[in-house]
Amino acid sequence: MNIYAIRAIYLFELGRSLRTLFQSLASPVISTSLYFVVFGSAIGSRMHAIDGVSYGAFIVPGLIMLAVLTESTANASFGIYMPRFTGTVYELLSAPVSAIEAVIGYVGAAATKSVVLGLVIALTARLFVPYGIIHPFWALAFLVLTSVSFSLFGFILGLWADGFEKLQVVPMMIITPLTFLGGTFYSITMLPKAWQTVSLFNPIVYLVNGFRWAFYDQADVSLVFSVGMIVGFMAVCLGIIAWIFKTGWRLRT
């Protein structure tokens, strides 16, 4: 294992985020804060509690997941797309750096940024609504697993995209709508039976509810399913990345 190579890639990607700190950290925090102001304070004060949890506190885990999913995908996809766009990826491929070392460096940096973002948003939320975390270990575990999994997904997206437009298509047209429809602002038990069944086919439902369970010990789906969903998604992403490096798809052609 080439630790120096991993460290070099990891620190370079973190350094890029520090150079664009407003875009990487401040912008998502400000956007999420607006959700807290509108939904948590303005609308939430007129909403009934959901399963004994105030509406403002209820949406905290979902909003954190919304930011983490989006930023994990965007950071990892942009991180690997730029070397392809500028042609410097060939220097990486010709260097004594294995595929797993490159993935650890790029994905590790993207996941680190997303975990930090999630923690910052969690602290920011305390300025708007009071809430507690009943299972802090599981909350951190879900945050890390989700960040790593969607950073792997973003890495695949960055290899697949052949233009800046495609980097925005999946986060804007798929991930964000699925997150909004995944129980971020409501419990799926509030939906009609038919729509509850449809919602169970949305994988984001399991991530949001697993994270919400860690906060309030309440969820619409089983914790086992939530953990299984995120671990299974991570395994699929790892398999696709292994195939990409083995075949050279979008890397050498």
pLDDT tens for each residue of 39-49 = 766 676 677 78
pLDDT of residue 145: 95
pLDDT of residue 250: 77
**Block residue for tokens 């437009």:** 165
User: Measuring CA to CA, which residue among 35, 224, 217 is closest to residue 133?
Assistant: 217
What band does 230 get if pLDDT is binned at 50, 70 and 90?
A: very high
Share of the chain above pLDDT 90, in %: 47
**133 near 139, Cβ under 8 Å?**
yes
pLDDT of residue 44: 65
**75 near 68, Cβ under 8 Å?**
no
**Average pLDDT, whole number, for the chain?**
88
Residue 73 burial (C-beta neighbours within 10 Å; 0-12, 13-18, 19+):
buried
Q: Which range (34-48, 54-68, 81-95, 101-115) has the least confidence? A: 34-48
Is the predicted pLDDT of residue 109 greater than 70, yes or no? yes
**Block residue for tokens 């939530």:** 226
Tell me the pLDDT tens digit for each residue of 118-176. Answer: 999 999 988 888 899 999 999 999 999 999 999 999 999 999 988 888 888 888 888 88
Share of the chain above pLDDT 70, in %: 96
- The mean per-residue pLDDT over the stretch 39-66 comes to 82
pLDDT of residue 38: 79
Question: What pTM value is reported for the model?
Answer: 0.90
Quickly list H helices, the chain.
3-19, 21, 27-35, 55-58, 60-86, 89-94, 99-125, 136-160, 164-170, 176-180, 193-199, 203-216, 223-247
